[in-house]
Chains A and B, each alone.
Chain A
């Protein structure tokens, strides 16, 4: 098993996440894309932990999961509030703030 394949996978996941943020309109999906990026980082952390032969990376992954969960809570709160006000979760729609 070549661990660098996992790194490649994590890079692909990260890119999918980043592109997802760029192309999707639904705030929830955008948000999920960000979570995908965080998890790509997690995968990369655990792979490197394996490659480096220490556990730091795995510990980091735990913490990232916690932080990501907190982010979910905050994110959902904001998105749901916006959704109720505007009756849409499209991120293109709210653009009163510009220029």
Chain B
């Protein structure tokens, strides 16, 4: 497998950034290229675009088909639950009429879940390659965890962790 440009992989194949300045249009720009060639060679451009066309039609057609079929065949029951915030699960509020404080516990819990969920996505690969990543990898992960801790601390101080 080839290298990646990102830090988790060994270095030898990491791309070197080309150091020259470049700008399009400085030279040769005024010749609006009728003669500009894409070096298409023997490839018939129409054929190249046939797959894309088929792909597009297939994808869009299938998506449209499944939704239309669902509308045609599925039972139609329009009721309150259909337009509720959550189609299933617990009704999120006790709905104090005329306003009032809103228990956002579920929402805060979701937020907590996301914080730790995301943490893992990055921690696993890091842990696997931990011994090769040297100090830089450690510091980077430490910074990442610190940043992750900040919203956690914020939630805690704001009372988001207290379940009355």
Contacts and interface: CB of A to CB of B under 8 A. Distances in A.
Contacts, number: 91
In this complex, the interface size class of chain B, counting residues with CB under 8 Å from chain A, is 35 or more
Contacts of A66: 118, 121-122
B102 interface: yes
Given A19-B64, A84-B93, A77 B83 contact: no
Give the dominant DSSP class at B's interface: helix
A16 B1 contact: no
Q: Which of A11, A53, A58, A79 has the most CB of B within 10 A?
A: A11
Contacts of B21: none
A63 to B, nearest CB: 9
A11 B6 contact: no
Contacts of A58: 4
A65 B121 contact: yes
Interface string A58-85: 1100100110011011001101100110
A83 B121 contact: no
Contact of B63 (A18, A79, A80): A18
A49 B8 CA distance: 15
A90 B63 contact: no
Per CB-CB distance, the 8 closest pairs between chain A and chain B, nearest first, are A15-B63, A11-B59, A55-B4, A54-B2, A16-B63, A15-B59, A59-B6, A69-B114
Given A54-B1, A66-B121, A80 B59 contact: no
A8 B85 contact: no
Interface stretch (B28-36, B103-111, B131-139): B103-111
B3 A54 contact: yes
A48 interface: no
Nearest to A83: B85
